[in-house]
Amino acid sequence: MKFIIAVIKPFKLDEVREALSNIGIAGMTVSEVKGFGRQKGQTEIYRGAEYSTNMLPKVKLEIAASDDVAEKVVETIQQTANTEAIGDGKIFVLDLASATRIRTGESGETAL
């Protein structure tokens, strides 16, 4: 099993979610996060006083997937969240040691 963490532009969330549903991904965790990479920050101006904020809002997705679909998930996110501009985000893939469904106690891939 793989644990996939993707940081994407917030306005791409719905599109990515739909694309993942289409390839059979039935669940994910989404959080609003802040950070920076090559894109750096943005400038805010209040009555002429300029403040450059070095953090930008992003959305973080966390998805657990079986080994055989993990690659497809990464590919789907990479294609859907792409705007061909800096700040599109990153995808990380980790090995997942175990997964348990709390209600039934099932574990392994059946819990996903």
Which chain residues interact with another protein by CB under 8 A?
Answer: 44-49, 51, 53
Q: Which is nearer to another protein, 53 or 110 (CB)?
A: 53
Cβ-based nearer residue to another protein, 38 or 47: 47
Cβ at position 47, least distance to another protein in Å: 5
Stretch (H or E) spanning 51: strand 49-53
| Six-digit token string for 104 | 């039934």
Between 55 and 94, whose beta carbon lies closer to another protein? 55
Residue 57 CB, shortest distance to another protein, in Å, is 15
- Picking from 76, 59, 61, the residue whose alpha carbon sits closest to that of residue 3 is 61
Residue 48 falls in which region: left (phi positive, over 0), alpha (psi -120 to 50) or beta:
left
Amino acid (one-letter) located at 94: L
Q: Least distance to another protein from the beta carbon of 84, Å?
A: 25
